[in-house]
Chains A and B, each alone.
Chain A
Amino acid sequence: MKTTISSIIDKTGNDRHKLLNILHLLQLEYGYITEDVIEALSEELNITKSQILQVTSFYHYLYDEFKGRIVIHVNRSIIALISGYADIVKTLEKECSCKMETISEDGEFGLWNTSCIGMSDQEPAILINGFPFTDLNTSKTKEIISKIKNGKSLESIFEEYEPDKYKLSIGEQSVDKTKTYIKGPLLDDEYTPFTSIELLQTKISPQNILDIVYESGLQGRGGAGFSVGRKWKAAAQAKNKKKYVICNADEGEPGTFKDRVLLSEKPEVVFEGMLISAYAIGAHKGIVYLRKEYEYMKVYLEKVLQDMRDKEFIGPNSIFGFEIRIQIGAGAYVCGEASALLESMEGKRGEPREKYMQPTEYGYLGKPTIVNNVESFAIVPSIIYHGSKWYKHYGTDFSAGTKVLSIAGDCAKPGIYELPWGISINTLLKLTYAKNTKAVIVGGMSGHLLPPEEFDRVICYSDLSTGGAIMILNNERNLLKDVVLPSLDFFIDESCGSCSTCRNVPGYLREIARDMEYHKLSHSNYIKIIEWGKLLSISRCGLGKSVASLLIDFIHKFTHDYEIETLPEIKSD
């Protein structure tokens, strides 16, 4: 074991900040992080065992116990639940001879729930040792498991059943199962990748880039909507010479899958966007933080990066000496928050930092850093090429450009829609051929639950601001059971536990919500939901703040769906 660990550390570097990478490799070797592994690693890195456990116990995909030789993660998102999750579970439990959250007697299979693997348009979906299998039904599931039992290699089964995901390779037309129904300036193929890089070398200064991006009105596409130009300007002004550019590909918001599609179809422009930002702020290192659930894409993305190195756009021989590497996450929704992502990249627990520290000043390893979403980087090359006015021409006065939406659920055409900001929910429902729609969730678990009366509201920063997850639910759905309770389960599972509020309140809310399934909502419980929602809003990060949002929308906007205790009428004297 010692020699294995030493050789792994030789590869990654004997550096605490590389802990996630070291642990990933060790898990690959031993199946899980055993006590012996921790003991040996602690000697090698000269840190205590508890300090390693502190990190491993934070992440879903770092196992502290044996999880089965074939580890199957069954997606349990809202869309999975309404698309046949229960049938798949039944089949898997029978075929693998074990119940969910357990391991089969022979140790061959382990069945585990997971929150969202970014395949909402292809549910039900599962991950088998990291390989995604989607659009499952009973017979397909049976076949896959029986092939595994017959000793066929997982990779060849993956190739057979998921050719679109397996065949991601340079130059080939994407055959991704995900349908892109509407394309805009980002997804249409008008822009030829790397055209803007040529401009950098000749015509455009870093200051020009900062000005163009600022004037374009581009706002962060991960959901928060901070001005990209302003962030870059702040980082450009930071004094420290060592700076970092980080692409947030930790797409964890349930219902979202647009970053997966962008990375599998347009990785060149994402990386080009990173390069342009690096040139603008003066950074030499770029890192893509790719969520663990998307690790199957890494091989392909590395090829794209190698191609860029060969063309001397990046790498030691390139004109700006800019290099990009891929960091794999370890399964934590909260790491989508920029500062938690930085902590995670430093090999620590992914807890959000306090807000007085801005990443542009004090980011990765304490150096000035910009963290932007995949989609934000992807549009930058086109903006530089066409200019800010061109971009502003899309969208509304206060929300410039287009938004790539991931639409899933009860509609005939789930998939990707790139639309200008300012589109109403009604229009989306028409475009996707949704019928008998009862509710639409905009922005995933931390978003809004909208009733038909509000379908004239529009997707834009001043009304429904979103990272792009849209989930449609029809009249057959039980919103309490299918949406509200899973949302609370989700937040209870994903809280980092730092804030007293977010660590404790969601459990109490879930008790009240569970009770609503069988009893009238008492007036005192109604008050509790509202008050505790306020209490959650003083949590440190967006996760804690938004725990109660779907529940509160539900009790306010879907009053026909549950019973509330009526108060005795009070007559004035």
Chain B
Amino acid sequence: MQKNISLSINGNKISTTKSKTIVEAAEDNGIYIPTLCFLKGKLDHSNCRICTVKVDGYHKPACSTLVADNMDVITNSDELEELRKYIIELLFSTGNHICAVCQKSGDCELQALAYKYKLLFSRFEHLYPNKGIDTTSSDKIIMDKSRCILCQRCIQAIKDKDGNPFFVLQGRSNALEVVFDKEMNDIFTQEDAIEAVKQCPVGCILSKESAAFETPIGRRQFDKTEIGNKEV
């Protein structure tokens, strides 16, 4: 495709194609912007805010802002990195993310970001919520709700052939939850379940079928490489 858009990221001129998000254009040019809720091809939800960058002096979510000619994007200022660190701490403190007892350890994007940002403690008090574990709605997955970071990727990514989502929101504000729509259980396939586990950036959605120990901890994707970096 023709590269018809020219913009600047961190002072470097780059060319890219129209209809790409800043996250994608940056990635093509070897610049990593952390994301948690981002799903390629879906623009209409940017809930985690961790991809916030400065565009022409204004904070914007890089995952749902399209590139435009002569845009001036900053992705890595001290201010932005500090905001990202705060978001990681916030997500850790408002959920139960205790990596040592989590099947997702090593494959968890939140954990990987915590390592990348050298998180040693959180400046927010840990709430240790008790939102329960849903083991009954689906015969293929369980959901540890206290680990859900409300990124909504499962809602966006996994749908039936008519476009109805298998996961839905319930409530609002700090009582917001993602739940599995149990009426959809009959048509929720094993492939959908695998996809849901894969899409979940944390240890909330887990498979009933597999204990997730095919790859031992220590040899998993983020054990080998830092998130956002190519293979070392």
Which A residues form the contact surface with B (CB < 8 A)? 42, 47-51, 53-54, 57-58, 349, 353-357, 492-501, 503-505, 507-508, 511, 528, 531-532, 534-535, 537-540
Contact = CB atoms under 8 A, between A and B. Distances in A.
B102 to A, nearest CB: 19
B85 to A, nearest CB: 10
A494 B173 contact: yes
A497 B172 contact: yes
B65 interface: yes
Contacts of A58: 171-172
A356 B64 contact: yes
Q: Residue among A47, A50, A58, A531 with the most chain B CB within 10 A?
A: A50
A355 B63 CA distance: 12
B52 interface: yes
Given A497-B174, A500-B49, A51 B168 contact: yes
A224 to B, nearest CB: 15
Nearest to A545: B59
B87 A498 contact: no
16 contacts: A48-B183, A49-B183, A50-B182, A51-B181, A53-B170, A54-B170, A354-B44, A354-B46, A356-B66, A492-B174, A500-B150, A503-B176, A504-B124, A531-B86, A532-B86, A535-B86
- Of the four ranges (under 10, 10 to 19, 20 to 34, 35 or more), the interface on chain B belongs to 35 or more
B33 interface: no
Given A48-B183, A50-B181, A497-B150, A57 B172 contact: yes
Contact of B46 (A503, A528, A540): A540
A242 B151 CA distance: 34
A507 B47 CA distance: 18
Given A58-B172, A537-B59, A500 B184 contact: no
A506 to B, nearest CB: 8
A508 B46 contact: no
B125 interface: yes
Contacts of A503: 150, 173-174, 176
B114 to A, nearest CB: 14
Given A501-B87, A528-B123, A496 B172 contact: yes
B200 interface: no
Interface in B159-218: 164, 168-176, 179, 181-184
Nearest to B124: A508
Contacts of B94: 504
Contacts of B149: 500
A500 B123 contact: no
Contacts of B46: 354, 540
A354 B43 contact: yes
A507 B127 CA distance: 11
Given A48-B184, A534-B83, 8 more contacts: A349-B169, A354-B44, A496-B172, A497-B173, A500-B47, A503-B176, A504-B90, A528-B123
A413 B49 CA distance: 44
B196 to A, nearest CB: 16
B45 interface: yes
- Residue picked from B59, B83, B173, most chain A C-beta under 10 Å: B173
Contact of B168 (A54, A356, A499, A539): A54
B61 interface: yes
A245 B171 CA distance: 30
Most buried by B among A492, A493, A501, A539: A501
A357 B44 contact: yes
B141 interface: no
A498 B47 contact: yes
B179 A50 contact: yes
Contacts of B61: 354, 540
A358 to B, nearest CB: 12
Contacts of A531: 86
B112 interface: no
Given A54-B170, A531-B86, A537-B59, A497 B175 contact: yes
B125 to A, nearest CB: 7
Contacts of B179: 50
B7 interface: no
Given A51-B181, A504-B94, A537-B59, A353 B44 contact: yes
B170 A50 contact: yes
B75 to A, nearest CB: 14
Q: Give 7 closest A-B pairs by Cβ, nearest first.
A: A497-B176, A50-B181, A48-B183, A495-B173, A354-B64, A50-B168, A538-B52
B28 to A, nearest CB: 19
A509 to B, nearest CB: 11
Given A48-B184, A528-B123, A535 B87 contact: yes
Given A354-B64, A357-B44, A507 B174 contact: yes
B49 A501 contact: yes
A534 B85 CA distance: 13
Nearest to B152: A498
Nearest to B95: A504
